[in-house]
Structure 1
Amino acid sequence: MNATPPTADDLRPFPLRESLGFLLVRTALRLRLLGNTLLQEAGVDITVDQWGILNLLWEADGQTPVELARRADKDKPNVTRLLKILEDKGLVSREPDPADRRSHRIRLTEAGTSLKDQLLDLGVTCLERACQGLSRQEIATLKQLLNRVYANVS
């Protein structure tokens, strides 16, 4: 299916509340707020950003901060701050990297590992609420389109 490319008039971002950038930011902020609210209501003392780092470690434990930053699409100072918070909460630990004395490997603690099922369930709840009324195909299309927009601006 070859779609006709939009014209400059089609992309004109006014009125502001109908512009793509506004809609994306507004949606991302509300989704983050919903996630943080669900975490708080469940009595879990972490944020959505901290949840994201834990999620990456559940996928592959023992990553370096640089690897985590790249995979999370965050800058290294932000990830370093998040890791310090998670370490202070006893959810991760730092171990020297045997391959590079200047670096560390981030490992889940038993407490960090034990949160996996509960936090993944909360993530599912959050996305179910956010995607209410959308079909599986619509969700797949939305993800595909968002990834294409992201690639265009990267």
Structure 2
Amino acid sequence: MKKKRTVHEVAFRLSYDLGTQITPQLGQLAFKPAPMQLRAMRRIWSTGGSTLLDIARTLNRDKSQVKRLIDELCEVELVKREPNPADKRSKILKLTNKGYDFFETIEKIEAVFSEQLTAGIPAKDLEAFFRVSDRLSDNLRELNKESSAK
């Protein structure tokens, strides 16, 4: 009898397989970013500047964890802190010129990898995958909020 597949089994396998394929490519970079650092940089890249709190919410981590992660990116001069004109108590995190160059390299690596990964998959199937994946992620975040409230 064939065992029924589960969403989390497929998600873990996909996550593992993605990591094992892209990690060697990213390992060729001078700085080897952790996945959370890449996600933080992507948030800064896509918004043009984010606060520590914005990134903590995006990563679903506490501010002290994110602060350490950002401190390391600042030490290697990929991210900088600037005064927040909207709130004098916080800083805006921005990519440095070196950070932009670094992230452009990441984007190129990921674009080639994405092209290879999605070869032969029709656009409508990819759209459905993204829609379902986003919904799964939203559901997980709601579950996390509910369990945190208890």
TM range (shorter): 0.7 to 0.9
1:91 corresponds to: 78
Distance 1:85 1:102 in 2: 21
Distance 2:82 2:28 in 1: 33
Q: Show structure 2 runs of 5+ residues with no match.
A: 143-150
CA contact (8 A) 1:31 1:130 kept: no
Q: Provide the aligned C-alpha RMSD in A.
A: 2.4
Shift of 1:75: 3.9
Identity of aligned residues (%): 23
Q: TM-score, normalised by structure 2?
A: 0.77
Question: How many residue pairs were aligned?
Answer: 140
Q: TM-score, normalised by structure 1?
A: 0.75
1:4 corresponds to: none
Q: In the TM superposition, what whole-angstrom CA distance separates every residue of 1:18-76 from its partner, at most 9, and x where no partner exists?
A: 22111112212322332322111355532333222222222222310111222344443
Equivalent position to 1:27, from 8, 14, 17: 14
Q: Is 1:141 aligned to 2:128, yes or no?
A: yes
Which segment drifts farther, 103-112 or 41-50? 41-50
Shift of 1:130: 2.7
Aligned amino acid, residue 52 of structure 1: R
Question: CA 1:122/1:140 → structure 2, altered by over 3 Å: closer, same or farther?
Answer: same
The aligned runs of 1:98-137 (5 Å cut-off) are 98-137=85-124
**Greater gyration radius:** 1
Shift of 1:99: 3.5
Other structure's SS at 1:116 match = helix
